[in-house]
Amino acid sequence: MSDTETKEELHHHHHEHNITKNIKATFVVIVFTVITMVFEIFFGIITNSMALLADGWHMGTHAFALMITFAAYLLIENFKDKNIFQSGVGKVSDLAGYTSAIFLGITGIVILLEAVNRFFNPLSITFNEAIIVAVIGFIVNGICLLIMFSGENRDKDYNFKAAYLHIAADTLTSILAIFALLMGKYFGIIQLDSIVGILGGLLILKWATGLLSDTTKRLVEYKKID
């Protein structure tokens, strides 16, 4: 066996190891997200808490995005040895990343619009309840972010990068929400809740547009002309 063949075989095994690791990380995060979603929706219903209900359904949208990532990995594993795609199975990962980026962008837009609306039409906030929900969200998202951080090739695997950014976006919004709610409760700065929501929405949109740009270039096989 030549050195070139040996290197290619090692690269192939390393790639398969990375895919397997990413599949496991994604599956664990989906389980965490779905359990939290069911918990928040259930207790939101029995306690008539809109905050819990809203966060529960919000977790559901991210669970759906993560399922796209997981489904793409299953397709890649199933068709990796079958020559039915002209450019290989890599485009499946790129397409999944592109689709998830769209959902991420929609999330950013919804947060941005809601925050702007709340700024001009502020609502009364039940601070204690909202803080508890935000802390629960932060803990769960923090654990999921650590699990996703253990994945491989986040910059090259756009499917996994999209899932990672969804969790990062949730973690960011939880941190901003906790800060804004504490400032509102103890210092009466109600508008800060809307302001940090606007900042969070803009940052999520930036992540989404960057990921959309990267995945689009991969899908159309864009080549930079010098």
3-state secondary structure the chain: CCHHHHHHHHHHHHHHHHHHHHHHHHHHHHHHHHHHHHHHHHHHHHCCCHHHHHHHHHHHHHHHHHHHHHHHHHHHHHHCCCCCCCCCCHHHHHHHHHHHHHHHHHHHHHHHHHHHHHHHCCCCCCHHHHHHHHHHHHHHHHHHHHHHHCCCCCCCCHHHHHHHHHHHHHHHHHHHHHHHHHHHHHHCCCHHHHHHHHHHHHHHHHHHHHHHHHHHHHHCCCCCCC
Give me the residues of the chain with pLDDT under 70, please.
1-18, 47-54, 81, 84-89, 150-155, 224-226
Q: Does domain 3-219 have CATH number 1.10.1060.10?
A: no
Q: What is the pLDDT of residues 36-71, one digit of tens each?
A: 888 878 877 786 665 566 677 777 878 888 898 898
Give the pLDDT confidence score for residue 54 in this predicted structure.
67
pTM recorded for the entire structure: 0.75
Q: What is the pLDDT of residues 70-92, one digit of tens each?
A: 988 888 887 776 776 666 667 88
